[in-house]
Chains A and B, each alone.
Chain A
Amino acid sequence: MTDTITPYRSTVPAARDGLPALVRAEWTKFRTVRGWVVAAVVALLLMPLFGLLGAAGSHGEVGGGPGGESRAGHRAPPTGPGGEAVNDGPYFVHRPLAGDGTVTVRVTSLTGVVLPLGNGPGGLGGPAGGGPAGPAGVPPTEGGAQPWAKAGILLKESAEPGSAYAAVMVTADHGVRLQHNFTGDTAGPPGAVTADAPRWLRLTRAGDLLTGYASPDGEAWTTVGTVRLPGLPSSVLAGLFVATPGDETFEQHLGGFESIGEPAAATATFDELDTQGGFAGSDWSGQRIGATGRPGGAPGTGDPLVEGGFDVSRGTFTLTGSGDIAPFVTEGAAAVERTLVGTFATLTVAVVLGVLFIATEYRRGLIRVSVAASPRRGRVLAAKATVIGAITFVLGLVAAAVTVPLGRRLLRDNGNLVLPTDGLTELRVVVGTAALLAVAAVLAVAVGTILRRGAGAAAGVIVLTVLPYVLAVAAVLPAGAAQWLLRITPAAGFAIQQSVVAYPQVGHPYTPVAGYFPLAPWAGFAVLCGWTVLALGLATYLLRRRDA
């Protein structure tokens, strides 16, 4: 009862109660209980089952026609140099550039309008990628430029959608930016462009280094940034561009959120254009990137605002365009983690297994035998955690590795647009799912050791790990509260499954309902690990201090 008692030290040879022997003992305990093995198999099956169920209940909406159900307008977005899905539909006025060169221009205005669809929501895909646009005859509404409407200098590998590029630009609400290859974004001087406060821009190519500059007066230049475009061919296209995302409003309601998208058009005026370096010819040609089969920008829908166009008079260029040049972010597309919706079910079973693994020992009194066999009690716990962690990791890995390709295939067959994911990210999602299950099961063992009561421990761990996820994903809570929950509870670990990236340069509600966790994947996983380490520490302490 006093602190002066020396803890018991076993005299059993280390080889008898070494960790490998204990792990083997715990493994034997696990595999010889038929109910647990059945539960493990059930856990293995639940993930593909719910993944396929979720995929079966999702039919294509992206790029749907006016009815929202048509698959005719379904069109996968191009992929950028990094392998991610992108929007690439700016209006681009260019000349070929061989080797190094510099473009300087003054932007004097950037305005925009919203093009109503006239048939309600349904333009999920927006105007980008050559999708359907508003019918002719509906007058555009004055909505002002979209916050991320862009105008400036673009240097692009080719007119192919998705090809490498770098651009220095002014935006409506986000100042000067230097963007490259869709995902790269560097902020420059803030402030919008007006007739009273025009903005000079300059983009210089030197090898595969591109440098963007901005200036308020054409005299004093500040460097916005330098980007490297490895493998950029010597011969590229360079010139002026205008781009704008569609007008989207989002409304969260119980159970999900709705996005109502309408295409938008932006118009920019440029003057004092100056080109230096290896430019060939003197004729500027304009085209909407991605508008295949319509060379020269011939109207396809009859709406010049949608198709875009340009006009030169006395050195003043006026460009109009309706597509964006940015990463593809839309609610309607399915990310790969959509197929892993069954993780929570497998996790529930894994937690129950983890709790049972220790709680049954207390219920049956087996714990006394266990600690008699291995008086170093911490090792008993370590062996249990190792065994349950390894089992759940393996079954999670198998389940996820089977579910992802099957689910993706079913989603595609149902006409869904599945976002492309690069191999490393997909590996992280699959292995991370397995790790998430393993760590949650270890957390369950620790909490089971602390509480020594199976039902209470299982309820506690499930409520801590699954309930915040449910409340956040099913939009029961407002986005702010949901993000807060997913930062501090073990449910933060679900972030490891997120393959989509929140791009600040694309206006979108990056909320849990839309599949965006508040923490980065590994940071969220670290929160879960932190909880587990704390619980394991407390469990070890209590196991040593208490009578078994």
Chain B
Amino acid sequence: MSPLGGGRDAGTARDQAGPAGPGPRGPRGLRGPRREADQGSSAGPRPAELRTADLWLADLWLAVRAEWTKLRTVAGPGALLLAAAALTVAASAAAAAAASCPAAGCAVDAARVSLTGVQLGQAVVALLAVLVVGTEYSTGLISSTLAAVPRRATVLAAKAAVVTGIVLAAGTVAALGSVLAGRLILPGQGFTAAHGYPPLSLADGPTLRAAAGSVLYLALIALLGLGVTTLIREATVAVGVVLGLLYLFPILSAVVTDPDWERRLRQIGPSDAGLAIQDTLGLPGAPIGPWAGLGVLAGWAAAALLAGGLALGRRDA
């Protein structure tokens, strides 16, 4: 629950409804606890935009704290974050152990192999994001949340901020663990300096970009899941839609034989394009560049959040 957010908004509403009285009222009053706001109900005339922006920020901050409280006081999200990191590292290590480079010039992207686990981790991250919104609807908590924070965009922004934060944290652990696993395992699979593979290191620019990009990728997947679920409101269906979206493009592009179609599909698919951030080999011929690819995924996430936000703003909870 979000008692702070609720109090804040009740106070704000009263502020706005009350008659404008004399006496200055600075931003201090806005951030203060509810009692203070009630006492200072004599807000003077001040630039409206400043007041709105400050109010919104204060609202957002309280909403973020409320969301954070909601997340950390149930067991599910923590377990899922742990699972996301652990499964990512485990799958990465397994992929690294399955890869082999028998001779020099084997054209295997070592960084990408050692970050393969993101393919599994993204499903857990998507599930986490879906549940953050989905449980609100399945338990009816959404009514309380929206009563406490009537600005619905603020609710969504707060959820997005909190989910991004925790996924970035778990993703960093996952990426670091995966690169470490690759660094330890890959030399034994023939990825040696003699075959043109120095040990994986974050000091190497492309490897650092692949690892850091994978963290951002996971965060964007979470935002995509958040947006889709806000739109759909039913967690189970949202899981199917998000995972279907992630898996659709790789399967289709593996089936079509036209190079143009395949390229196009790899350019627009959220997972294919987003995972281009892991490429450290064959970049000139790749369908899409690393950052452009991540940008495509960001576009998907933004579109999902926008659609979810619009639906949230217009619908009854």
Q: What residues make up the interface of A, taking CB atoms closer than 8 Å to B?
A: 39, 50, 53-54, 57-59, 61, 253-256, 332, 334, 338, 341, 344-345, 348-349, 351-352, 355-356, 359, 363, 416, 454-459, 462-463, 466-467, 469-471, 473-478, 480-481, 484, 513
| Contact status of A463 and B262, CB under 8 A, knowing A255-B254, A455-B134 | no
**A61 nearest CB neighbor, chain B only:** B257
Contact partner of B251 (CB less than 8 A), chosen from A254, A344, A356, A359, is A344
Is B127 in the interface zone, CB < 8 Å from A?
yes
A109 to B251, CA, bound (A): 47
Is the CB–CB distance between A478 and B100 below 8 Å? yes
Residues from chain A with Cβ under 8 Å of B238 in the complex: 455
Residues from chain B with Cβ under 8 Å of A332 in the complex: 257
| Contact status of A352 and B251, CB under 8 A, knowing A58-B257, A454-B235, A477-B95 | no
- Range class of the B interface residue count: 35 or more
| Contact status of A478 and B99, CB under 8 A, knowing A57-B256, A352-B239, A455-B130 | yes
| Contact status of A467 and B236, CB under 8 A, knowing A474-B253, A478-B100 | no
Nearest CB on A from B214, distance (A): 14
Is the CB–CB distance between B243 and A463 below 8 Å? yes
A39 to B232, CA, bound (A): 13
| Contact status of A345 and B120, CB under 8 A, knowing A57-B258, A477-B98 | no
A-B contact pairs, 11 of them (CB 8 A): A58-B257, A58-B258, A255-B266, A332-B257, A338-B255, A349-B240, A416-B257, A466-B243, A466-B247, A469-B251, A470-B247
Is the CB–CB distance between B131 and A455 below 8 Å? yes
Contact partner of A474 (CB less than 8 A), chosen from B134, B254, B256, is B254
Beyond the given A39-B237, A462-B243, could you list 9 further A-B residue pairs with CB under 8 A, ordered by the A residue number? A50-B252, A57-B252, A61-B257, A256-B262, A344-B251, A352-B239, A455-B235, A458-B240, A459-B124
Is the CB–CB distance between B116 and A477 below 8 Å? yes
The binding surface of chain A is classed by DSSP as helix
Is the CB–CB distance between A352 and B247 below 8 Å? no
Nearest CB on A from B228, distance (A): 12
Residues from chain A with Cβ under 8 Å of B112 in the complex: 254
Nearest CB on A from B73, distance (A): 18
Is B208 in the interface zone, CB < 8 Å from A?
no
A52 to B305, CA, bound (A): 30
Is B193 in the interface zone, CB < 8 Å from A?
no
| Contact status of A348 and B240, CB under 8 A, knowing A255-B262, A470-B250 | yes
Residues from chain A with Cβ under 8 Å of B107 in the complex: 253
Residues from chain A with Cβ under 8 Å of B252 in the complex: 50, 53-54, 57, 341
Contact partner of B236 (CB less than 8 A), chosen from A54, A61, A254, A356, is A356
Residues from chain B with Cβ under 8 Å of A477 in the complex: 95, 98, 116
Most buried by A among B123, B134, B282: B123
Residues from chain B with Cβ under 8 Å of A455 in the complex: 127, 130-131, 134, 235-236, 238-239
| Contact status of A473 and B120, CB under 8 A, knowing A455-B236, A455-B238 | no
A90 to B244, CA, bound (A): 48
Is the CB–CB distance between A57 and B262 below 8 Å? yes
Is the CB–CB distance between B236 and A470 below 8 Å? no
**A459 nearest CB neighbor, chain B only:** B127
